[in-house]
Amino acid sequence: MSPTRSRRRLIAGNWKLQFGPTHAAAHAAALRDRLLAVEDVDLAVFPTAMSIPAVVDTVKRSNLRVGVQWACAHAEGAYTGANSPAMAREIGCGWVLCGHSEVRGDFGETDARVHAAIRGGLKHGLLPMLCVGESVEERAAGRLREVLERQLEVAYGSLHADEAATVTIAYEPLWAIGTGVTATPDKAQEAHAVIRKWLLGRFPEFVAAQTRVLYGGSVKASNIAGLLACPDVDGALVGGASLDVDAFCAIVDAARR
Ligand code: PEP
C-alpha cells in the first residue's frame, strides 16, 4: 500500500553514546551551518542525554530539532538513572526515541515499556519515534510480519488515532544496525509495507497516510537514494554515518527533492 507521498521526508541522526557536550556542540554547529538552506527535509539529531543542553543551545533558531534517545514514562520520582520526558521537553527536546534495539537488547527494554514511553512522550509534548525490527533469525524463519506486528500492537496499545498519527516509525532490522549491511530496497519496502498495512488495519486511513516510516540500518550516502525510492520509505534514522558531518550532509542532500 502506498498512499500519496504527502509525507515530508525526515532524516534523523542517532549519535548513540558518542560526543560529550563540547564535541557535540561543535558537531551540531557544523551541521547547523551546512544544513542551513534545507527547507524541504525535516532534520533531527539524538545526542546522548548529557550533551542535549549544549546541542539545543547550538541549534536554537535553526532547522535542526533535538531528541532524547531514551526516556521512561515518568515525569519525576524514584527512578534512579532514568530520563524524564517532561525534563527532556524542558531542556528543549522535541523528539523521543522509543524502543531502539540497543535499548531493548542492552537494557532489557520491553514492548510494554516502549508503549509507556510513547505515552509519556506524548503527555509531555515530545514526538515519539518508535523503533521496530526483526533479528536475522526471525527474518530467515519467515517471521518478519509476525514480529513487526507484535511490536507495533504493544507499542501503540491504547493510543487513539489522533495520538497514533503523531508517532514516527523507524524500521531498523537488527541485522543492519551498525553492521555495514544495509537492507536492499526490496527488503526495506517489504517491511515498510507490512508496517503501513498494519496501521491501515488498526486505525482510520489518515493515520497510515500521514505516518512517516523511516529506514534505519547502515544508511550511507551511497545507499540512501535506492531506499528513498521505495514508495513507503519516508526518510532515515542514521547511526554511524551521522557522526561524520560530510556523510550526514550527503544523506540529507540525497533526500532533497
Ligand atoms: C541506529 O543506531 O539507529 C542505526 C541505524 O545505526 P547505523 O546507521 O550505524 O546502522
Domain boundaries, the chain: 10-255
Counting Cα atoms < 13 Å in the Cβ hemisphere of 130 gives 32
CA dihedral 25, 238, 98, 9 (to 10 degrees): 100
Show Cβ contacts of residue 210 under 8 Å, excluding neighbours closer than 6 positions. 6, 7, 165
- Determine whether the shortest distance from the Cβ of 134 to ligand 1 is under 6 A: no
Catalytic residue among 100, 115, 124, 192: 100
pLDDT for res 231: 96
pLDDT of 257: 80
Tell me, using a 6 A CB cutoff, whether residue 240 lines ligand 1: yes
Distance between CA atoms of 53 and 146, rounded to whole angstroms?
39
CA dist list (Å): 93 to 73, 121, 126, 216 = 15, 10, 7, 21
Instruction: Give yes or no for residue 130 CB within 6 A of ligand 1.
Output: no
Does residue 239's CB lie within 6 angstroms of at least one atom of ligand 1?
Answer: yes
What pLDDT does residue 2 have?
42
Classify burial at 147, counting beta carbons within 10 Å of its beta carbon; exposed 0-12, middle 13-18, buried 19 or more. Answer: buried
d(CA 53, CA 13): 17
Report the predicted TM-score, pTM, of the whole model to 2 decimal places. Answer: 0.96
Cα 78 to averaged position of ligand 1 atoms, centre (Å): 31
Our answer to whether residue 172 is catalytic in this structure is: yes
Residue closest via CA to ligand 1's atom 7 equals: 239
Distance (angstroms) between ligand 1 centre and the Cα of 220 equals 10
pLDDT for res 4: 46
From the list 205, 106, 98, 206, the residue with the least C-alpha distance to 152 is 98
Question: Which atom of ligand 1 is the closest one to the Cα of 177?
Answer: 10
Q: Active-site residue 100, yes or no?
A: yes
10-to-135, 142, 220, 236, 256 alpha-carbon distances in Å? 25, 29, 15, 7, 10
Cα–Cα distance, 67 to 176 (Å, whole number) = 22
CB 55 within 8 A of CB 45: yes
* Ligand 1 pocket mutation, candidates 46, 101, 218, 222, criterion most atoms within 8 A of CB: 218
- In short, whether 236's Cβ falls inside 6 Å of ligand 1 is no
Tens digits of pLDDT across the chain (257 residues): 444 456 999 999 999 999 999 999 999 999 999 999 999 999 999 999 999 999 999 999 999 999 999 999 999 999 999 999 999 999 999 999 999 999 999 999 999 999 999 999 999 999 999 999 999 999 999 999 999 999 999 999 999 999 999 999 999 999 999 999 999 999 999 999 999 999 999 999 999 999 999 999 999 999 999 999 999 999 999 999 999 999 999 999 999 98
Give CA–CA dist 227/93, Å, rounded: 28
Kindly indicate whether the domain formed by 10-255 is annotated with CATH number 3.40.50.2000: no
